[in-house]
Amino acid sequence: MAEEIIIVQGNNVLTGDVVVSGAKNSALKLMAATLLGRGTTSLHNVPLISDIAIMSEVLRCLGAQVDRQDHTLVVDTAPVEKWETPYELVSKMRASIAVLGPLIGRFGQARVAMPGGCQIGARNIDMHLVGLEALGVMFVTDHGFLEATTPHGLIGAHVVLDFPSVGATENLLMAAVVAEGTTVIENAAREPEIVDLVNMLNAMGARITGGGSSLMEVEGVPSESMHPCEHTTVGDRIEAGTFLVGGALMGGPLTVHGIDPSYLRMAVMKLESMGCDVQTGADWITVRREGPLAPIDIQTLPHPGFPTDLQAQFMLLAARAEGTSAITENVFENRFMFAAELARMGADITIEDHHALVRGVDGLQGAPVSSTDLRAGAALVLAGISAEGETRVHNIGHVDRGYEDYVGKLCSLGAEVARATVDDVQPSC
């Protein structure tokens, strides 16, 4: 059986300019929010990635018309009459759970399959449910589906999240905008993608204040007063951070365009502390390095802390630093699966619980490796560029979920990277 892989010839070159795509983690939730608009919404700067294609199919299954014109999605949710999402689609991508809030807001009920996605941790949806229950939603689980009803309607409430979960904050927002009265969300997620969603919901007629802070207030409006809008997705800070790590690893200079530098403040600080020179402008960041990489101490935390989605990329940087780095993963318990693949290329990494000790090595060697999740796949390709010889990255479907034309962009920066279809060779015993 044939398999598509990424083949990397290590040439240690990554320099020039690259434009980042729209944020995957924002665009998916903006698409879900169109369900509240009952009409045609235009979303600009939407990345061409497989996760967007899956969410488009989720919306179509609900009855929406979804058309793509280059990087613009035109979504007409006026025909939507269903409130059930199919397991076949939701099981492929956990972000599909984002339709739960807007379906409840629009219909007062929903039947949503339990989500799937990257195998990097439990990603429990209990906080979604507890928060929505505070608004008057009742849930039952039926054969792998969540069934939601609102027997007394949606009523505003004061909700305190145990953890600033991005997904729980988003689902709460999309239900609370049409709840009767005022909803207060305490310990809300503060990610830039949350702010992007708030801006779009307000453009649709919602009344939300406090976006980007840990305390948000939502003044409910009648469901019928929500309307379509036109909105542009923010740039993808994780894609930008991935390319910046590549520039730091290879030396650069490398400039990413289309990103607000404030979205990556913590990552930029860590790059500087590792010996990189970082310059920023209104919507660009440039990284270059002439000396050796210094070791680093990183702890992943919700925004504005260090993003877990950049942990694998910075572990790669730490693997080439002069000295020993410590990385603590506080968000997803399985995110260190990447370390075993990087070790196949010669990295020296010791894992204990949610801590990783990374001892820098002089160089990496090309090897066959496999993407364990979306960000790990992208980091393994960068590792291959800096390694000696050829690296073959398998299971690249993960990469396609979140990076638009990753290979093409890397090639434009001087890397020797190509996609190839190879026969899946069975081992002989």
Q: Write out the catalytic residue numbers.
A: 118
Cα distances (angstroms) measured from residue 235 to each of 49, 82, 150, 193: 14, 32, 36, 9
Tell me the residue type at 176: A
Beta bridge partners of 155: 180
In the block, tokens 């991935």 appear at 242
302: cis peptide before it, omega within 30°?
no
Neighbours of 322 (CB within 10 A): 13
Question: Each residue of 353-374: b (16+ CB within 10 Å) or e?
Answer: ebebebebbeebbbbebbbbbb
User: What one-character DSSP code corresponds to residue 269?
Assistant: H
CA proximity to 242, closest of 312, 153, 156: 312
Which tokens hold the place of 97?
């759970």
| R_g over Cα of the chain | 22
**CA separation (Å) from 238 to 23, 92, 192, 368, 390?**
8, 21, 11, 25, 26
Q: Cis (ω within 30 of 0) for the bond into 304?
A: yes
Helix or strand or coil: residue 152?
coil
User: b/e for 413-424, b at 16 or more Cβ within 10 A?
Assistant: bbbebeeeeeee
CA dihedral (79, 83, 84, 90) in degrees, to 10, reads: 80
Whole-Å CA distances, 148 to 108, 239, 373, 412 = 8, 35, 30, 48
- Residues in CB range of 297: below 8 A, 6 or more apart: 325, 326, 327
- Dist. CA 252–CA 370, nearest whole Å: 26
Cα–chain center distance at 387: 27
